[in-house]
Amino acid sequence: MKKKLQLYGIFLVFILLVFPFISTSNEQIPTSAPMTTDLAGRSGNVAIPSIFRVIIPRLNRGGTGFLHKSGNVVTAAHVVASCSPNDIKVIDFRGQTYVIDKVIIDENIDLSLLKLKEKINIPALEISPNENFAIGLQVSTWGYPEGYRGLAPLLMSGYLSGSEVDDKGIPRWVVNAAINNGNSGGPLLEIEKGKVIGVVFGKLAPLPQYIESALRASKDQRSGFVFTKTYPDGKKEEISEAQVIEEVLQYLRSQTQLVIGYGVMIGDLKKFLRSNNIDP
């Protein structure tokens, strides 16, 4: 009996010592809500044929676009800014290139419509009729991040983290997902229904103000060592040593992944389409 009491005592001490750590550990370690279904991947059945790589060879620039039911390709304005229709190549997941007839841009909300010369027999992505979404909503996007050379778009998924108002007073989605250069213009999809709730247009890569100023000064500096930069179309440009450093640093900055991106809200997307006489 005495031995049993000793064993019970040891067991009780063990529980009292260890249980507090077990009970508080789950409270101290933040965990994301599990993705309990494969809905994000299944959306690819519709999304992949409807997603396009948008490239501007002359400017060594690119992004993503998606097909709207009007037959137009929606993308981000900054992807095709200062471009004529002849500058832009739109390529689908099979490698087929489409000719652009007209470019419509709204720089204020960073949206653009690419009107194609021919009709495409591909199912378009549907825009959600809803405009109110809860923070924490699971979302995804398909696109062509910079450096990726495959034909089919890549899947990125995450959550609506919140919203903020930019310097122009325009509200934006803040998205917790691996959004990189090249994803701009891709659809922001509600995973549950696979409908468009916004358009990806950027990522968060903040720098202190004095670093921003130093980069701008480097970009304007033309003295010192000169390097000849060759563009993809063969055009050459002489840039200074400071400008080379500025370009390298900006590129490295663009590759910094904080897993936070921005999206145009669905209300602004619908207004943009209606302003161009297109039913969302």
91 and 189 in a common domain:
yes
pLDDT at residue 41, rounded to an integer: 60
User: Quick check: is 119 in a domain?
Assistant: yes
180 and 52 in a common domain:
yes
Report the number of distinct structural domains present in the chain: 2
User: Quick check: is 11 in a domain?
Assistant: no
pLDDT at residue 166, rounded to an integer: 85
Closest CA to 244 of 230, 232, 229, 231: 229
55 and 158 in a common domain:
yes
- What is the distance, to the nearest Å, from the Cα of residue 105 to the centroid of all Cα atoms in its chain? 19
User: Quick check: is 54 in a domain?
Assistant: yes
pLDDT at residue 94, rounded to an integer: 93
* Enclosing domain of residue 249: 209-254
Bridge partners of 86? none
The angle subtended at Cα 125 by Cα 194 and Cα 120, nearest 5°, is 150
The angle subtended at Cα 219 by Cα 216 and Cα 220, nearest 5°, is 90
245 and 145 in a common domain:
no
pLDDT at residue 179, rounded to an integer: 84
Angle between helices 209-220 and 241-255 (to 10 degrees): 140
pLDDT at residue 21, rounded to an integer: 35
214 and 85 in a common domain:
no
Q: What is the pTM of this model?
A: 0.69
110 and 86 in a common domain:
yes
Closest CA to 111 of 275, 269, 280: 269
pLDDT at residue 153, rounded to an integer: 94
User: Quick check: is 5 in a domain?
Assistant: no
157 and 268 in a common domain:
yes
pLDDT at residue 85, rounded to an integer: 95
pLDDT at residue 189, rounded to an integer: 94
pLDDT at residue 65, rounded to an integer: 97
CATH number for 181 = 2.40.10.120
In 107-258 the beta strands, taken as DSSP E runs, fall at 111-116, 138-143, 154-165, 171-176, 187-190, 195-203, 226-230, 236-240
| DSSP at 87 | G
The residue type at 247: E
User: Quick check: is 153 in a domain?
Assistant: yes
Tens-digit pLDDT string for the chain (280 aa): 444 434 334 433 333 333 333 333 343 333 334 444 555 666 667 788 999 999 999 888 999 999 999 999 999 999 999 999 999 999 999 999 999 999 999 999 999 999 999 888 888 999 999 999 999 999 999 999 988 889 999 998 899 988 989 888 999 998 988 888 899 999 999 988 889 999 998 865 555 565 566 656 666 777 766 777 776 667 787 777 667 676 666 655 555 555 567 788 899 999 999 999 999 9
User: Quick check: is 106 in a domain?
Assistant: yes
98 and 149 in a common domain:
yes
131 and 114 in a common domain:
yes
123 and 156 in a common domain:
yes
pLDDT at residue 210, rounded to an integer: 53
225 and 87 in a common domain:
no
The residue type at 52: F
Query: How many other β-carbons are positioned within 10 Å of the β-carbon of residue 118?
Result: 9
User: Quick check: is 217 in a domain?
Assistant: yes
User: Quick check: is 233 in a domain?
Assistant: yes
Closest CA to 77 of 247, 200, 204: 200
151 and 141 in a common domain:
yes
